[in-house]
Structure 1
Amino acid sequence: MSYPALFTTPGMRNFAEAVDTERQRQLDLWGDQHHPILRGPSNQGLFEELAQAMRDSNADPAQRCWMTILLEEAYEAGAERDLAKFRTEIVQIAAVCQAIITDLDRQGQ
């Protein structure tokens, strides 16, 4: 499917098209799913601990990689209780995913 040029960030159009294709595949396979957005306080504490561990790891450039950055964002989202802030975290995850895909494409992967 071809989309109008709405994006200015390098690689964003290809990323959005790939996500759209994958999301349609998921819809075809499982239909429109509905799950709880967030779970209780026990999960929040776990995600807070995991997020802090990833922040500590990412503070050291020798330990930082795309996966630790992505995990830090995901754990921060899981620790969030406010749905508006949770949404912001999910957008950050998508932005990191786009950066990873763009970096992969630059490397010819």
Structure 2
Amino acid sequence: MALARALSTSDSKALAPLARTIAETIRDTPVRLGSPEGAADLASTLIVKVAAYVGRELPSAPGLATLMVELDAERGRQFAKFGEQHHPDGTAITEDRERADRARHTCESMARLGQLTWRDILHEEVAEAFAESDPALLRAELLQVAAVCAAWIWDIDQRPTA
């Protein structure tokens, strides 16, 4: 009952499958009361099942799970500061298609010269997003922007610190 109340908020609804995994493990794992091994059996079974659950739920791309936690925290800060926001897209201005074509050409040229940078790649993806008018295609472009940002952040995180 308390678990159901705790999982009634929208933020915690995402945890409902994990809560079910834990509840089922507790229900299905025999515990020998008064025995230290009984608690250890339950704990080890819970660890294995929760680890399996987390492995299914967390992103597998390198660095993405950590980035998702950081991104969630930043979105939380934005929501606290600005509340829920709704704005027009502001994309598909006349010059945006030309800018996207130039950015793509620059990116391809830099790649051919062996001088491609993250800035070039991100600039191309952002320019392509800005040129899009169709919401589904805009969403796909923004997803590519996010993926490039994630790759760039992961690359930064892999660099040796001075």
Q: What is the distance in 2 between the residues matched to 1:74 and 1:91?
A: 10
1:108: how far off?
3.8
Aligned length: 104
Q: Does 1:70 align with 2:122?
A: yes
More helix by share: 2
Residue 48 of structure 1 aligns to which amino acid in structure 2? R
Structure 2 distance, partners of 1:33, 1:90, is 17
2:137 matched residue in structure 1: 85
Instruction: Report deviation, 1:26.
Output: 0.6
TM-score scaled by structure 1? 0.85
| Aligned residue type for 1:12 | L
- TM-superposed CA distance for 1:57, in Å, is 1.0
CA RMSD of aligned residues (A): 1.8
- Where does structure 2 lack aligned partners over 5 or more consecutive residues? 1-14, 16-53
RCO higher in structure (CA 8 A, sep ≥6) = 1
- Which residue of the partner structure matches residue 107 of structure 2? 58
SS at structure 2 position matched to 1:90: helix
Answer with 74-83 or 57-66: which moved more.
57-66
Residue 87 of structure 1 deviates from its aligned partner by: 0.7
